[in-house]
Amino acid sequence: MVINNRYFNHVNRTAGTQNIQAPQKAVSNPGGFNGILKDKMEQSFSIKFSKHAELRMQSRNIHLSQDQKEKLKNAVAKAEGKGVRDTLVLLDNMAFVVNVKNKTVITAVNRNELKENVFTNIDGAVFT
């Protein structure tokens, strides 16, 4: 099959002009590439909470300060450095089971429920 570019360009110019939109301007970012990269790096290493963990934290009245979140993040980084897949993080009389690969807290336990709990499906523990 042979396509005649002159015919194709002629058709595009005459028939397609009504649906052409003006080109969009690029959105400028004050931080530029480095700012975007930094934001993405921080997002990629932020700790997420599963829906189950959020419900457990709510029902068990567990609230984390920014400092505690940072400690949790550092504990997950340590576990990741050791090749742990699912870790138990003990932090200030609270326990968190975290999937290290996804950096997602799976469940959370407060001080009152730590004594009688058995944690399964973990291959490492971090004490902070």
pTM: 0.66
Strand 86-91 and strand 124-127: the pairing is parallel
Share of residues in the chain with pLDDT > 70 (%): 69
Calpha distance 111→93 (Å, rounded): 5
Whether residue 20 has pLDDT greater than 80? no
Instruction: Output the pLDDT for position 29.
Output: 54
Q: Which fold has domain 47-127?
A: YaeB-like fold (3.30.2310)
User: What are the tens digits of pLDDT across the range 58-84?
Assistant: 999 999 999 999 999 999 999 999 999
Written as six digits, the tokens of 125 are 């523990």
Whether residue 122 has pLDDT greater than 60? yes
What distances in angstroms separate CA 128 from CA 13, 20, 52, 90, one per listed residue?
67, 59, 23, 6
Instruction: Output the pLDDT for position 18.
Output: 52
Q: Where are the domains of the chain?
A: 47-127
Instruction: Output the pLDDT for position 36.
Output: 74
Backbone conformation region of residue 103, classed left if phi is above 0, alpha if psi is from -120 to 50, else beta? left
Written as six digits, the tokens of 103 are 């950096």
Q: Give the max Cα distance, the chain.
A: 80
